[in-house]
């Protein structure tokens, strides 16, 4: 019986047997014991499934990864130590030196830096295209050595909605998968696989954990991309891995399991960006209430966005759920039940006014964080981007007066009253 997403949030991934713990056990063990060397050898040959060392796999992590795979409608998933590790693995599992990736230009700044600076140094080239680019521009971005397309369902902090179906079609026309960072929407509000995406990644640090308790990431495979049909592009999946006993992932594990098995056996083995079982346990507690929290985050954000949009001291408001927003049409298509809890807006009076406004907030805290149960906000011009002058800021799409306001799950009237009194100090 297919279960609805709310039930999967609570009960997915782990089904205890008779007399077993109701809550997922935290397997706080680096290693696992075997009776014979033959038994262990089978694990190393990927002939039998089982655990041997927590740098590669741990049962607690796998329960939680299985829940996220069910939430997204995928076939396999792995947890990573952070969202950054998930972004890196998702691309590096497909591309190496001499390869090329097409990415949306409005992605999270940390991802942009990972791609444009660090992975470029590893010999992978990226072409960034505006999410609303013309068909000709999108077509022109592809090269014979392109291995994937990458975008964010709702971009952090640009809050632009990604046209998943359109980019999936373009990727597939070129025989490559679409990878979507679904952090801000979460599977409660959007399931990118239903629109043609092939791989989904998350910074679980945000809404999935939801309480600011643990940094983490996740990668999910839809199981739909046919690697062998494009074997020339993906030798890592479609030819024997000599570093892993000559296994060919795509033939041994099929479309459903090849991508995540390779990422575990190769990338986790070599890079070790594993999530700790403790953090996986905390992440699971967050997932149990994800569907309840997302509804409240979105309700609060829409109320705050509507209030801001009518206020005379506010210059502009950006929120995909707001009528008239540039992304509103795409939001109605991909995010009919709500987008996210983050609203960005500009206060009249520029950089100085934004600083004054934020200093007077009492409910919202100033933090380098978003997507948490507690309302928080950030003024990029005086924090993450403080080395830039106003002109440099505008050149990268961040207005000096921009406030990124992440609505928590408190009472919306308290958030609005707090914003109102802080705005009054600007008169």
Residue nearest to ligand PLP (CB): 83
* DSSP code, position 146: E
Output 65 or 422, the one with its CB closest to ligand PLP: 65
CA distance linking residue 308 with residue 128, whole number of Å:
32
Strands (E) in 195-294, as ranges, are: 199-203, 217-221
Output 72 or 241, the one with its CB closest to ligand PLP: 72
Instruction: List own/partner pairs for 238-242 with CB under 8 A and 24 or more apart.
Output: 241/265, 241/266
Is 209 near ligand PLP (CB under 6 A)? no
What is the enclosing helix (H) or strand (E) of 56? none
Do 256 and 249 contact (CB within 8 A), yes or no?
Answer: no
Is 210 near ligand PLP (CB under 6 A)? no
Do 57 and 27 contact (CB within 8 A), yes or no?
Answer: no
CA distance linking residue 52 with residue 43, whole number of Å:
8
The CB density around residue 243, as the number of other CB atoms within 10 Å, is 11
Output 197 or 416, the one with its CB closest to ligand PLP: 197
Contact region with ligand PLP (CB under 6 A), list: 52-60, 160-168, 178-186, 246-254: 178-186
Residue 248 CA to chain centroid, in angstroms? 28
CB of 260 to ligand PLP, least distance (A): 19
Q: Which of residues 121-160 bind ligand PLP (CB under 6 A)?
A: 152, 156
Is 180 near ligand PLP (CB under 6 A)? no
Is 215 near ligand PLP (CB under 6 A)? yes
Q: Which of residues 73-112 bind ligand PLP (CB under 6 A)?
A: 82-84, 87, 108, 110-111
Of positions 206, 230, 318, 379, contacts ligand PLP by CB under 6 A: 206
Q: Is 62 exposed, middle or buried (0-12, 13-18, 19+ CB in 10 A)?
A: buried
Is 70 near ligand PLP (CB under 6 A)? no
Contact region with ligand PLP (CB under 6 A), list: 118-126, 177-185, 270-278, 288-296: 177-185
Of positions 54, 106, 203, 375, contacts ligand PLP by CB under 6 A: 203
Binding site for ligand PLP (CB under 6 A): 82-84, 87, 108, 110-111, 152, 156, 181, 183-184, 203, 205-206, 215, 217
């Amino acid at each position: 019986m297919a279960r609805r997403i709310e039930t999967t949030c609570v009960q997915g991934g782990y089904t205890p047997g008779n007399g077993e713990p109701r809550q997922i056990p935290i397997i706080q063990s680096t290693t696992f014991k075997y009776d014979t060397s033959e038994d262990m050898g089978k694990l190393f040959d990927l002939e039998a499934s089982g655990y041997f060392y927590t740098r590669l796999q741990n049962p607690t992590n796998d329960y939680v990864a299985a829940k996220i795979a069910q939430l997204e409608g995928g076939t396999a998933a792995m947890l990573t130590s952070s969202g950054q590790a998930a972004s890196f693995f998702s691309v590096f599992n497909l591309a190496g030196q001499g390869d090329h990736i097409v990415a949306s230009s409005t992605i999270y700044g940390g991802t942009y830096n990972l791609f444009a600076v660090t992975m470029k140094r590893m010999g992978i080239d990226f072409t960034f295209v505006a999410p609303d680019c013309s068909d000709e521009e999108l077509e022109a971005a592809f090269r014979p050595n392109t291995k994937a397309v990458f975008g964010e369902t709702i971009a952090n902090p640009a809050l632009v909605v990604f046209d998943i179906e359109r980019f999936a079609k373009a990727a597939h026309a070129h025989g490559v998968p679409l990878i979507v960072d679904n952090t801000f929407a979460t599977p409660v509000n959007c399931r990118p696989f239903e629109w043609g995406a092939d791989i989904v990644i998350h910074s679980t640090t945000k809404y999935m954990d939801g309480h600011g308790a643990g940094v983490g990431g996740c990668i999910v495979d839809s199981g739909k991309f046919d690697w062998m049909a494009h074997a020339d592009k993906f030798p890592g999946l479609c030819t024997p891995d000599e570093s892993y006993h000559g296994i060919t992932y795509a033939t041994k594990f099929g479309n459903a399991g090849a991508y995540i098995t390779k990422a575990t056996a190769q990338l986790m083995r070599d890079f070790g960006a594993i999530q700790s079982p403790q953090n996986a346990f905390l992440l699971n507690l967050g997932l149990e209430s994800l569907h309840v929290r997302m509804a409240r985050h979105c309700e609060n954000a829409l109320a705050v966005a509507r209030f801001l949009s009518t206020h005379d001291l506010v210059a502009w408001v950006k929120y995909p759920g707001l009528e008239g927003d540039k992304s509103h049409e795409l939001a109605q298509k991909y995010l009919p039940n709500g987008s996210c809890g983050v609203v960005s807006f500009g206060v009249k009076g520029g950089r100085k006014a934004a600083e004054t406004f934020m200093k007077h907030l009492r409910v919202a805290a100033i933090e380098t964080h978003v997507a948490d149960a507690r309302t928080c906000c950030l003024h990029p011009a005086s924090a993450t981007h403080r080395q830039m002058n106003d002109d440099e800021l505008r050149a990268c799409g961040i207005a000096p007066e921009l406030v990124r306001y992440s609505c928590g799950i408190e009472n919306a009237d308290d958030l609005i009253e707090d914003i109102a009194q802080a705005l009054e100090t600007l008169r």
